Amino acid sequence: MASLKNTDIDATGFLKLPVGTTAERPSSPEQGMIRLATDNVLFNGPALEFYSGTEWVTIGAPTFEGVGGAETTDGPATIHTFSSSGTFTVQEEGS
């Protein structure tokens, strides 16, 4: 297989990516790999994904945030604590 570096595709055609199920992902993925997963659960069907170096990430997947209560963090988790009645809302980030 050819190894391309700093490649500019100057065409109006297409670039064909690898296609397969999540079970068919490479057994030793490398950071920067990109593919089309035909059985992506977030989109209930095909979705682009890339390997971040630690995990496969769905491209274009919505991210959500919680709003309400007193917020504290524990590592990557945000904890919402209510000491009285209140409203906890989950919304798409940036909305």
Contact residues for 9 (Cβ-Cβ < 8 A; gap 6+): 15
Q: pLDDT at position 37, please?
A: 94
Q: pLDDT at position 4, please?
A: 79
Going from N- to C-terminal start, the domains of the chain cover 28-58, 63-95
Separation CA 2–CA 47 (nearest Å) = 26
Q: pLDDT at position 35, please?
A: 96
* Predicted confidence (pLDDT) per residue in 3-34, tens digit: 778 888 888 888 889 999 999 999 999 999 99
Could you give the dihedral angle defined by the CA atoms of residues 38, 44, 48 and 54, in that order, rounded to the nearest 10 degrees? -100
Q: What is the mean pLDDT of residues 40-64?
A: 85
Q: Is the pTM of this model over 0.85?
A: no
